Structure 1
Amino acid sequence: MMMNFKLLILFLITMANMGFAQGKPEEQLEWAKVFDKYNAKGTILVVDKRSSLQEVKVFNSERANKRFAPASTFKVPHTLFALDAGLVKDEFQIFPWDGVKRSFKLHNQDQNLRSAMRYSALWVYEIFAKQLGEEKAKNYLKKIDYGNMDPRTDTGVYWIDGKLAISAYEQIDFLKKLYRNTLPFQKQHLLLLKDLMIVEAGSNWILRAKTGWQGSYGWWVGWVEWPSGPVFFALNIDTPNKMKDLYKRQAIVKDILLAINALPTNK
């Protein structure tokens, strides 16, 4: 009996090391109804860690493994790069508007780190990218093992128009490290970033997330914190109708999170 028990423990440890104890992805065919409801094509990956064995659920697993430009979801790691490199002191530092009128009205004003994240002000992060340079950006990307770690671009910014690409699975791998404060940055910077990412909150839950839009497709990635553990998500959908499709990112994710009780029904 003792030998069998030892063998069982050894088996469980082996399975854990191989990743089996972390849960295998389960294709959620019923989530197609949510995508159909919004006339959207794409993928969503949900990693629910509210129990000892996390549940990994996915719709369109093939697309979840495909890399896309991160677009403005890259503001999450980019903020850490800027803080670590001393390009911004804190959330209160003001970045004066350059006077260039852009299509998003809220971009046409002075920004600080919090507003630049909330309104997804691209021009602030273009300043960071110019000050960092390609070589330092590449070093940071390798440091955190982010997607294909390639900051090259011929035109435009590298996280929208360039070579940088990341999959839904890789997005969540990065977010897990951020949640656990295991990324190689000062803890005060990690905590500030997570504060900047708050979208909604209740008495016992917090939704932290960031949108992204490349033009032909969009992202919404983040997690919901509960006392029992986090629920991570990464959605990527096509946006053939451009800005008219952008609301679908949050709408699809919220419908699915509500269906698995990862968001409260009465907020």
Structure 2
Amino acid sequence: SGCTVQHNLINETPSQIVQGHNQVIHQYFDEKNTSGVLVIQTDKKINLYGNALSRANTEYVPASTFKMLNALIGLENQKTDINEIFKWKGEKRSFTAWEKDMTLGEAMKLSAVPVYQELARRIGLDLMQKEVKRIGFGNAEIGQQVDNFWLVGPLKVTPIQEVEFVSQLAHTQLPFSEKVQANVKNMLLLEESNGYKIFGKT
């Protein structure tokens, strides 16, 4: 296995990156006729598994995973709160599940793009650019349209950068208030049972 060190853009702490050789995980991707990488971080050690490990350092648009940072920025800058109901105005949306009133947390679980586009418009281009740059998220480039840069670019992030960002959120280490980070983490809770909790965002 190979080993490299990468500096985290968010807090400049180095992470040790290890290329793992787990044949079972490799086969999962092969069986589905697809290529991919599984990135797992424990403390400062990052393990890579799969049949296309180079993807771990390849930039992609963050798509709906940006909802985490969008929510953090919106709450920190008081553009919304966790109790606000974002009203559905009756327009046709991509999924019928999105066609209703929602809080930010409900919209996170349903990955409702229109709610987070509205939040982004409230944040505004200047503040959004300033905050994305302050956090050092991915290439930190948002372009000139505030409500779709995470879906079509120019914002891009590597899987390793994404995992490091989520790790810092999990440990309440991002440069946002502890309360805001706790509120966003609660939005990401998927399952809780027998003393464990699973958080996630597609």
TM-score (norm. length: structure 2): 0.85
Flag structure 1 segments of 5+ consecutive residues without an equivalent. Answer: 1-17, 212-267
Q: CA–CA distance in 2 between the matches of 1:82 and 1:157? A: 16
Q: Identify the residue that residue 45 of structure 1 maps to in structure 2.
A: 39
Say which SS state the counterpart of residue 167 (structure 2) adopts: helix
Q: 1:26 and 2:22 equivalent?
A: no
Report what 2:7 is aligned to: none
For 1:116, the equivalent position in structure 2 comes to 107
Name the amino acid aligned to 2:91: V
Give the structure with higher Rg (CA). 1
CA shift at 1:109, angstroms? 0.6
Confirm or deny: 8 A CA contact 2:37 2:48 kept in the other structure. no
Map 1:119-198 to 2 at 5 A: 119-153=110-144, 157-198=148-189
- State the one-letter code of the partner of 1:25: V
Aligned to 1:63: 55
Q: Report the equivalent of 2:3.
A: none
- Give the counterpart letter for 1:33 in structure 2: Q
Aligned-partner residue type, residue 202 of structure 1: S
Distance in 1, matches of 2:199 and 2:41, equals: 15
Aligned twin of 2:96: 105
Compute the displacement of 1:199 (Å). 1.0
Q: Partners in 2 of 1:48 and 1:185 — Cα distance?
A: 22
Question: Is it true that 1:94 corresponds to 2:90 in the alignment?
Answer: no
Q: 1:36 aligns with which of 30, 35, 38?
A: 30
Identity %: 26
How big is each residue's C-alpha offset from its partner over 1:113-164, in whole Å with a ceiling of 9 and x where there is no partner?
Answer: 1110000111111111111222111111111110000111569600001200
Deviation of 1:43 after TM superposition, in Å, equals 1.9
Which aligned runs of 4 or more in structure 1 are off by greater than 4 angstroms?
153-156
Alpha-carbon distance between aligned partners in 2 of 1:132 and 1:154, rounded to the nearest angstrom: 12
Structure 2 residue corresponding to 1:77, chosen from 69, 76, 87: 69
| Residues 155, 180 of structure 1: alpha-carbon distance in 2 compared, 3 angstrom cutoff | closer
Paired with 1:35 and 1:112, the residues of 2 have a C-alpha distance of 36
Inter-partner Cα distance in structure 1 for 2:145 and 2:168: 31
From the superposition, tell whether residues 126 and 74 of structure 1 become closer, same or farther in structure 2 (CA, over 3 Å).
same
Rounded Cα–Cα distance in structure 2 between residues aligned with 1:205 and 1:29: 25
- Alpha-carbon shift at residue 79 of structure 1 (Å): 0.4
- State how many pairs are aligned: 189
Change (3 A) 1:119 1:97: same
TM-score, normalising length from structure 1?
0.65
The alpha-carbon deviation at position 71 of structure 1 amounts to 0.2
List runs of 5+ in structure 2 lacking aligned partners. 1-12
Give distance in 2, aligned partners of 1:155 and 1:144: 17
Counterpart-to-counterpart distance in 1, 2:100 and 2:79: 20
Task: Specify the code of the residue in structure 2 equivalent to 1:99.
Answer: G
| Cα deviation 1:37-66 (Å, max 9, x = unaligned) | 3332222211234xxx84623332211100
Question: Which residue of the partner structure matches residue 10 of structure 2?
Answer: none
